[in-house]
């Protein structure tokens, strides 16, 4: 009797856990929030005495699969996340624009132009440990001549739940935050700052 009750309880738990994993997944697409600046980056940039710059073309790097710029469904247990602009490379561009604007260093007429190519974009809401990775090649062009050219990478990991309804939103949150992480790496890069020296 007790054995039967235990089996029934286990079946009920298993079904509930399976539903919790599956229900939110099918056809679920979340849009990342619009980029906002972090006050810490703005203060650091103002203190660096850099010249204002414009933000030019951001696109997917040559040779990368086109879906890398628009879909992340593979690592989100069937879910997906999209950027407000429709592409991750443009979301990276807008994140950079927000930081420069906040620091008073965004000037559309500047002869210093920052450009970028998205080289990697992925998130994995795996059971146990979730991971995210974002990479881009950045260039600074001054008066038509390159003065900075470097690929930078931002990576993150976190505890990831067995339950999809918990793990997926967490993964999307961490993936969204990695854009600021990558832009911060760019803005703190000593070679990049030299390229923007007044």
> pLDDT tens, position by position, for the chain (198 residues)?
455 665 555 554 444 444 344 434 444 678 898 988 877 777 788 888 899 999 999 999 999 999 999 988 678 887 788 898 889 999 999 999 999 999 999 999 999 999 999 999 999 999 999 999 999 999 999 988 999 999 999 999 999 999 988 999 999 999 999 999 999 999 999 999 999 987
Q: What are phi and psi of 128, to 5 degrees?
A: 105, -65
Specify the pLDDT at position 29.
78
At residue 77, the pLDDT reads 82
Report how far apart, in Å, the C-alpha atoms of 46 and of each of 39, 138, 172, 179 are: 11, 21, 31, 21
Statement: 2-195 belongs to CATH 3.40.50.2000: no
Indicate the pTM of the whole model. 0.84
pLDDT of residue 44: 80
Report residue 49 as tokens.
Answer: 């005495």
Query: Do the bridges between strand 112-124 and strand 54-60 make them parallel or antiparallel, or are there none, so unpaired?
Result: parallel
């Amino acid at each position: 009797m007790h054995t039967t009750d235990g089996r029934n309880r286990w079946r009920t738990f298993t079904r509930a856990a399976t539903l919790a994993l599956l229900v939110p997944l099918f056809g679920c697409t979340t849009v990342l929030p619009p980029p906002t600046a972090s006050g810490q980056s703005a203060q650091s940039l103002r203190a660096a005495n850099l010249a204002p710059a414009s933000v030019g073309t951001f696109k997917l790097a040559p040779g990368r699969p086109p879906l890398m710029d628009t879909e992340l469904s593979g690592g989100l247990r069937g879910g997906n996340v999209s950027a407000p602009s429709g592409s991750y490379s443009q979301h990276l561009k807008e994140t950079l624009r927000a930081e420069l604007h906040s620091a008073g260093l965004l000037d559309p007429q500047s002869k210093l132009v920052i450009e970028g190519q998205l080289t990697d974009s992925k998130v994995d809401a795996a059971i146990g440990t979730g991971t995210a990775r974002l990479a881009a090649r950045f260039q600074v062009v001054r008066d038509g001549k390159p003065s900075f050219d470097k690929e930078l990478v931002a990576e993150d990991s976190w505890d990831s739940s067995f339950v999809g309804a918990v793990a997926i939103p967490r993964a999307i949150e961490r993936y969204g935050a990695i854009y600021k992480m990558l832009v911060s790496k760019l803005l703190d890069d000593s070679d990049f700052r030299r390229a923007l020296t007044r």
